[in-house]
Amino acid sequence: MRRFVAVGLWLSAAAAFPAAASALPFWLKLPEGVSTYSGRIDGIFRLILWITGIIFVVVEVLLVTFLIRYRYREGRRPRYTHGSNRVEVVWTIVPAVICVVLALLSRATWADIKQHLPKEGVQIEVTAEQFAWNIRYAGPDNKFGTADDVLTLNQLHFPVGQPVIVTLQSKDVIHSFFLPEFRVKQDAVPGLPSRIWFEGTRTGHWEIACAELCGLGHYRMKGFVTVETPEEFGKWLADQAAQAAAEAAPAAAAPAAAPPAAPAAQEEKKS
């Protein structure tokens, strides 16, 4: 019990003081946040950690105190009471208020992340399948579903400082597109494309994880994220487009990463 009090105190203190937080072992910290809204999510996380941490400490300290203070003593007459409406009302209302306030605080952040898509941004289509991420860029003509689309397998590139709008879908089972450092997670559901957005705040390399059980290869349905400067990104995209154009001269040989309806026919022919 005491150990928990200690850990709880430690955690709350850690959340409170950035200086102390940086001294913590890595596993007591959230991973670095590199999207524009990761800070907001982490802020609510810390707020809840504070509130629940305090409640936790208070409850456990009271519990341990009562256990020590009121341990069995020969002949002691326990307090005969059936409760008190007044205190019960207090400890009904206080948690209710805390919870509702937390819900209201979370609401705006949730809406900004999941409900309001930015009007402009880099458009990317991500199609999940057992066990890979098919990533599609519109290519030079800025239109999806044309011959000059750029397709990659498990390689997600996007420019820093610009909103990215991902249209997420799945060919087979449910997958979940998880970018831990960007605090992005959205299930990819077959037959139900969903659109999400995020914006990177610095360049670097990270990984895409699958967060929804999708079969035997679930654990390594891993992709790679490269966040580049807009110039680097533009160059990369142009290179990819040039390469694709060179290969796609006979259009029939296009790989099977098109939106679900198209490859269906193609794959059928092949097999």
Partner 1 sequence: MFQRTLVLLLAGAAATTLLACGGGKEEDTLEKEEAAAPASAPASAAAPAAAPAAAAAAPAAGSATLTGKVTFTGSAPAKEAIKMDADAYCKAAHSGPVYTQEVEVNGNGTLKDVFVYVKEGVTGTYPAPTTPVVIDQQGCQYHPHVFGIQAGQPLKIVNSDGTLHNIHALPKQNAEFNIGQPFKGMETIKKFDKPEVPVRFKCDVHKWMGAYAGVLNHPFFAVTNDQGTFEIKNLPPGTYVIEAWQEKYGPQTQTVTISGSESKTVDFSFKG
Partner 2 sequence: MSTSTVAVAHELAPGVHPAPTSFWRKYIFSLDHKVIGKQYMFYALFMLVIGGLLATLVRYQLAWPGRPLAFMGKLAPEGMPGGQMLPEFYNSLFTMHATIMIFFAIMPILIGAFGNFVVPIQIGARDMAFPTLNMLSFWTAVPAAVIIIWSFFVTGGAAQGGWTSYAPLSAILPKGQTLWLLSLGILGISSLLTSVNFITTIINMRAPGMTFFRLPLTVWALFITAVLLLLALPVLTGAMIMLLFDRVLGTTFFLPKGLIVSGQPWTNAGGGQPLLWQHLFWFFGHPEVYIMILPAMGITSEILPVFSRKPIFGYRAMAYSIMGIAGLGFIVWGHHMFQSGMNPYLGTTFMISTMVIAVPSAIKTFNWLGTLWGGNIRFTTPMLHALSFVSMFVIGGLSGIFMAATPVDIFIHDTYFIVGHIHYVLFGGSLFGAFAGLYFWYPKMFGRLMSERWGKIHWAITFVTFNLVFFPMHFLGMRGMQRRIYDYTQYTHLKGLQPMNQFMTISLFVLGIAQIILVFNFFLSMRRGKLAGANPWHANTLEWQTTSPPPHENFTGALPVVYRGPYEFSAPDHAEDYWPQNEPPSGVGQRPAGAHAH
Q: Which residues bind partner 1 (CB under 8 A)?
A: 129-132, 152-155, 215-217, 219-221, 223-224, 243, 246-250, 252-253, 255-256, 271
Of the candidate spans 13-21, 94-102, 147-155, 244-252, the one that interacts with partner 2 by CB under 8 A turns out to be 94-102
Least Å from the CB of residue 149 to partner 1:
14
Give residue for tokens 């009471």.
Answer: 81
Can you tell me which of 19, 78, 231, 253 binds partner 2, judged by CB under 8 A?
Answer: 78
Report helix, strand or coil for 207.
Answer: strand
The pair of three-digit structure tokens given for residue 259, joined into one six-digit string? 């939106």
163-170 and 122-129 strand pairing: parallel
Of the candidate spans 83-91, 143-151, 227-235, 242-250, the one that interacts with partner 2 by CB under 8 A turns out to be 83-91
Least Å from the CB of residue 141 to partner 1:
21
255 binds, among partner 2, partner 1, none (CB under 5 to 8 A by kind): partner 1
Considering only residues 206-235, where is the footprint of partner 2 by CB under 8 A? 206-207, 209-220, 222
Query: How many CB atoms neighbour CB 104 within 10 A?
Result: 9
CA 163 to CA 184: how far, in whole Å?
13
121 binds, among partner 2, partner 1, none (CB under 5 to 8 A by kind): none
Considering only residues 110-129, where is the footprint of partner 2 by CB under 8 A? 110-111, 113-115, 129
Least Å from the CB of residue 153 to partner 1:
4
CB 202 within 8 A of CB 227: yes
CA 244 to each of CA 111, 141, 154, 168, 201: distance values in angstroms, whole numbers, following the listed order: 38, 14, 16, 22, 29
Least Å from the CB of residue 44 to partner 2:
5
**What does the per-residue mask of binding to partner 2 show for 141-180, with x meaning CB under 8 A?**
------------------------------xxxx-x-x-x
**Which among 162, 157, 161, 160 has a CA at the least distance from the CA of 119?**
162
CA 151 to CA 138: how far, in whole Å?
9
Burial class (CB in 10 A: 0-12, 13-18, 19+), 189: middle
Would you say 165 or 227 has its CB closer to partner 1?
227
